[in-house]
Amino acid sequence: MAAIPSSDEYWKDPNLSLREKWNLHVQKKKTAGASSKPTRFLHTWGPRGTLYVLVGAGGWTTFVVIPTLYQGGWENYILPAQILMGFLLLEVAVNWCLARWVSSKYRPELHGTMPSVPKVELDFQTCSGPDTKVQAFAPSGSDSVLENGETSCAKRSNGEFATGTDTKGNESASEVQVFDLDYAPPTKDGAYDGYSYRMLVATSLPNEDGHVERRSVPYWSWVTCVVCQRPRPPRCHHCPLCKACVLKRDHHCYFTGSCVGVNNQRFFHMFVFWAIPLTTFATMHMFPYASRHVGPEYGAGPVDFIFPVCVIRCLFGYVSFVVVFLCSEFWLLLFCTFTSISMTISHLHLFCVGRTSFERDNSIKVSDTRSLSGKLLSVFGKYWWLNFLVPLYPRFKPVEDAVLWPHIKP
């Protein structure tokens, strides 16, 4: 098969047939680390859904719901309620924009490169299984880095051995977590430290059959990213959706359509924090408005507030599109309220213990030796409390070395 062009110019090549152009297009999608269709769908429509809730529910509540509900002796509370709603909307919208567009991508020329480390002797272990042989491991707890091209065998959590060639379908050119049960036993509480936990990383892009060459490396080590073609530090992971290695990657947020990393972590925290009072305040007004005004005015009954039923009845002309809009906003507000509360509690705990979502989900035990004030500086920078009112990223950046991690004990 022909080499994959780096751009989309092959569509204009008159020497290629339409079928050949399509095959090149499909192969390029595979080598770009394409993720599953549901993931791409969430990545594309998640931010749009968030804007739909902010603009729709926020605007409707501010300019329609509040003036309508506060009639009959409550007119003096209309303006204060609108000001409060506007303030909450502003806080959520600003932090959403900054969480989406402030980059945490790893840039070696800006953040630094891999430090030189002494070479150490590798421990050897024999793995029994088809097409396996004696492989090399770096000793647990050492600062050594496996040379590019070295291979190792690892045991998956289900007991199966991972060989040099692995097929993982849509997880092409991404990381697959494995546990080397024989070589790196967990601690007493069932967790793995940064050296004993091993993961499979790709050493080549997928071939025509979708096979990817992978090798096992310690979690806390420098690894060469096969897509970016350069080493990346610990806690830095490549995101196939963002198409970049992200420093201190916590997770990919589908509400913002970007990865949460070292630079935009504060904005994500503030986004979900302010989303709680915003969605709660809007829901408290939407519910009585729907029951008192939408039903009598548009002829909607209780069954019309079940969203699938509401859509079907709207298609047949029984209810107005306004009812569908308000019904969708109401259920999205409820979803966002509970999601914001859950994520705020979860990430508050992770912040206090100095771990990321990736480390929590995979039971990787790392320790942040700093005090609570030091952890606050690492995320919010100086005068951290001002971030609850005004984002201060350009002035006070996070006090964190996301490359060498001097305060983290893996």
pLDDT for 343 equals 96
Q: Is the pLDDT of residue 394 over 80?
A: no
**Which of 405 and 21 is assigned the larger pLDDT?**
405
Q: Is the pLDDT of residue 147 over 90?
A: no
pLDDT for 273 equals 96
pLDDT for 352 equals 92
Owner of token pair 């305060």 = 407
Calculate the average pLDDT of the chain: 78
User: pLDDT tens digit string along 107-139?
Assistant: 999 898 888 754 444 443 433 333 333 333 343
pLDDT for 290 equals 85
Catalytic residue list: 253
Q: Is the pLDDT of residue 146 over 50?
A: no
Q: Is the pLDDT of residue 103 over 90?
A: yes
pLDDT for 362 equals 87
Q: Is the pLDDT of residue 161 over 80?
A: no
pLDDT for 169 equals 35
User: pLDDT tens digit string along 341-375?
Assistant: 999 999 999 999 999 999 999 888 888 999 999 99
Contact 198, 212 (CB under 8 A): no
Distance CA 307, CA 327 (A): 6
Average pLDDT rounded to a whole number, residues 275-284 = 95
In this prediction, residue 80 has a pLDDT band, given cuts at 50, 70 and 90, of very high
pLDDT for 85 equals 95
Q: Which residues pair with 137 in a beta bridge?
A: 123
Residue among 410, 298, 304, 332 nearest 365 (CA): 410
pLDDT for 81 equals 96
Burial bucket for residue 278 (CB in 10 Å: 0-12, 13-18, 19+)? buried
pLDDT for 255 equals 95
Of the candidate ranges 43-47, 91-95, 212-216, 321-325, the one whose mean pLDDT is the lowest: 212-216
User: pLDDT tens digit string along 3-12?
Assistant: 545 445 666 7
Question: CB neighbours of 306 closer than 8 A, spacing ≥ 6?
Answer: 327
Burial bucket for residue 76 (CB in 10 Å: 0-12, 13-18, 19+)? exposed
Q: Is the pLDDT of residue 232 over 90?
A: yes
pLDDT for 310 equals 92
pLDDT for 183 equals 39
Distance CA 244, CA 264 (A): 15
